[in-house]
Amino acid sequence: MRQIPVDTSAAIVMVAKPAQPKVRDRRTGEIALDADGVKLMTVDVMFAANDEVEILSVTVPETGISGELAMGTPVALTGLIARPWENEFNGQKRHGIAFRAVAVTSLAAAGAKAA
């Protein structure tokens, strides 16, 4: 399985670090684009579920970011998937999990309206 859908319905998700452009090449500063040519952004979120908390870096298209995403803002992650990866660089094997979402939406406005 190349992509694993992540269920966020029982999680509390908040912005840990506001959106920043995803850099494709650190040497040149080139910004990463998706297959449609849309600029990709990275948003670090605090993901709390099952009595555990982790900081995840989530890649999302710039067009999928809505609302003010300041630190501590509760957000919804639409279409979140996890993708295992592995590569070799200078003889060193590395591996991890990359997270990607269709959208990151601020829930702060929804909470303010409900109050």
Q: Residues 45-91: pLDDT tens digits?
A: 999 999 999 999 999 999 999 878 999 999 999 999 999 999 888 88
Burial of 83 (0-12, 13-18, 19+ CB in 10 A): middle
Domain 4-106: CATH class, spelled out? mainly beta
**Alpha helix locations (H) across the chain?**
108-114
For residue 112, pLDDT beyond 80: no
For residue 1, pLDDT beyond 60: no
pLDDT at 109: 62
Judging by DSSP bridges, how do beta strands 103-106 and 75-78 pair with one another?
antiparallel
pLDDT at 49: 92
pLDDT at 108: 85
Query: Residue 42, Cβ neighbours under 10 Å: how many?
Result: 17
pTM for the model stands at 0.84
Closest CA to 31 of 70, 59, 73, 2: 59
User: Per-residue confidence at 12, pLDDT binned at 50, 70, 90?
Assistant: very high
Determine the average pLDDT of the residues in 31-39.
Answer: 90
**What are the structural domain ranges in the chain?**
4-106
Sign of the dihedral through C-alpha 48, 49, 55, 58: negative
